């Protein structure tokens, strides 16, 4: 029976196409890390050879796997499961199978959470941070969809629509992560941006087109149904932070470090097109990365209300609404804002702001 809802048809197609692409096109570049094969013998026979005794002393040790490679392996290994669970939820909605929907939703939320924890501890090189950002954004969407559908079939149409929208955007972010993993390796020659700087300095022209603090960036959501804007800045500093809830908690920066608070303001500018979704998902906290002195910093976990102001966190906006809050970073105490940059991964676009004026 054909799906009655055209949005479901599109989503099923997206999931299936994404799965096929990940197998046929993207996996050749990363499958060796997921399913490693033993080296062939000199006579051309397959591997799985155990070297022992005197010959073992001449065996060549396998090179250590970098965290960048571990991330690519993690993404490649998880993609099919994420897509299968997503399509399984769609099928359960279509067939009105409440038990199957609850089961698939719980599995998706659990899988997304464990993958996010694995990705978060990896020490990724700055040039591959966007891969992790795409992957984490996908996991956030899949986990949110699982949470929305975890209660089973709902009579509230908006809940189902929100969950399907999250599955769509999660699939798009996952495809972006897989596509980035499949990029050809960069030239091993010297980086011209780093040629005139020391190892601990951020090149002055690392982001030559960076927006200035307070400058507005305009963009559209993934389905081009809603327009939005994002403003970064101003910034402020704190050596200690204190939450203002019922149970106040105080945080102190480590010696030699300080808390950098970056203001984020996201605005839903209006609905466009013929779509029915008039609400906008703002970027998740993990979509933002701070670049400074050849290093990359991710925001601290949301602290909620503090004595310095509220935390920025992802939310859903209706037309004309805005959300403003701080991203909290723990950075070196001598950080120069004019050489620090905040990158926002918005899916198809990745605007960058410099955090201080450059003279």
Distance CA 186, CA 265 (A): 35
Q: What is the mean pLDDT of the chain?
A: 77
| pLDDT tens-digit readout, 104-139 | 989 998 998 889 888 888 877 766 777 887 888 888
Structure tokens at 315: 């939310």
More confident residue, 160 or 18: 160
Phi-psi group of 293: left, alpha or beta (phi > 0 → left; psi -120 to 50 → alpha; rest → beta): left
**Contact in structure between 168 and 112 (CB atoms under 8 Å):** no
Confidence of residue 46 (pLDDT cuts 50, 70, 90): very low
* Predicted confidence (pLDDT) per residue in 252-311, tens digit: 999 999 999 999 999 999 988 666 678 888 888 888 999 998 889 999 888 888 999 999
- Would the pLDDT of 196 be above 50? no
DSSP state of 122: S
Give CA angle at 131 (125, 135), nearest 5°: 130
Which CATH number does the domain 216-354 belong to among 3.40.50.20, 3.40.50.300, 2.60.40.1240, 2.40.50.140? 2.60.40.1240
DSSP element (H, E) containing 98: helix 98-120
234-249: per-residue pLDDT in tens? 999 999 999 987 888 8
Pick the most confident of 86-90, 297-301, 335-339: 335-339
Q: Are residues 176 and 142 in contact, defined by beta-carbon separation less than 8 angstroms?
A: no
At a CB cut-off of 8 Å and minimum separation 6, what does 142 contact?
82, 85, 86, 108, 109, 111, 112, 166, 167, 170
Domain segments of the chain as ranges: 6-35+66-181, 216-354
Residue written as token pair 């920025």: 312
- H/E stretch holding 115 reads helix 98-120
Average pLDDT over residues 26-44: 45
Q: Which residue has the higher pLDDT, 228 or 303?
A: 228
Q: Mean pLDDT throughout 214-221?
A: 93
């Amino acid at each position: 029976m054909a799906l009655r809802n055209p949005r479901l048809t599109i989503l099923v197609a997206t999931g299936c196409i994404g799965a096929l692409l990940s197998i046929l096109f993207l996996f050749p570049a990363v499958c060796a890390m997921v399913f490693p094969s033993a080296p062939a013998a000199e006579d051309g026979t397959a591997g799985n050879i155990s070297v022992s005794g005197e010959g073992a002393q001449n065996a060549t040790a396998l090179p250590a796997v970098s965290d960048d490679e571990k991330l690519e392996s993690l993404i490649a290994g998880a993609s099919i499961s994420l897509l299968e669970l997503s399509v399984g939820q769609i099928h359960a909605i279509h067939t009105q199978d409440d038990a199957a929907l609850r089961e698939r939703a719980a599995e998706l939320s659990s899988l997304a959470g464990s993958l996010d924890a694995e990705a978060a501890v990896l020490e990724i090189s700055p040039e591959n941070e966007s891969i992790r950002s795409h992957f984490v954004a996908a996991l956030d969407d899949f986990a949110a969809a699982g949470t929305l559908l975890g209660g089973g079939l709902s009579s509230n149409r908006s809940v189902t629509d929100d969950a399907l929208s999250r599955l769509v955007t999660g699939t798009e972010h996952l495809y972006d992560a897989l596509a980035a993993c499949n990029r050809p390796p960069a030239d091993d020659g010297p980086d011209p941006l780093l040629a005139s700087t020391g190892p601990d300095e951020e090149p002055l022209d690392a982001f030559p087109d960076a927006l200035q603090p307070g400058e507005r960036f305009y963009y559209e959501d993934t389905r081009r149904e809603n327009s939005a804007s994002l403003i970064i800045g101003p910034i402020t500093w704190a050596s200690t932070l204190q939450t203002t809830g019922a149970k106040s908690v105080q945080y102190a920066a480590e010696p030699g470090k300080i808390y950098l608070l970056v203001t984020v303001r996201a605005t839903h500018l209006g609905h466009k097109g013929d779509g029915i979704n008039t609400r906008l998902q703002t970027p998740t906290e993990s979509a933002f990365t701070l670049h400074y002195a050849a290093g990359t910093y991710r925001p601290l976990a949301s602290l909620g209300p503090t004595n310095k102001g509220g935390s920025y966190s992802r939310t859903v906006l209706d037309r004309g609404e805005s959300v403003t809050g701080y991203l909290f970073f723990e950075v070196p105490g001598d950080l120069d804002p004019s050489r620090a940059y905040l990158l926002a991964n918005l899916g198809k676009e990745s605007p960058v702001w410099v955090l201080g004026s450059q003279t």
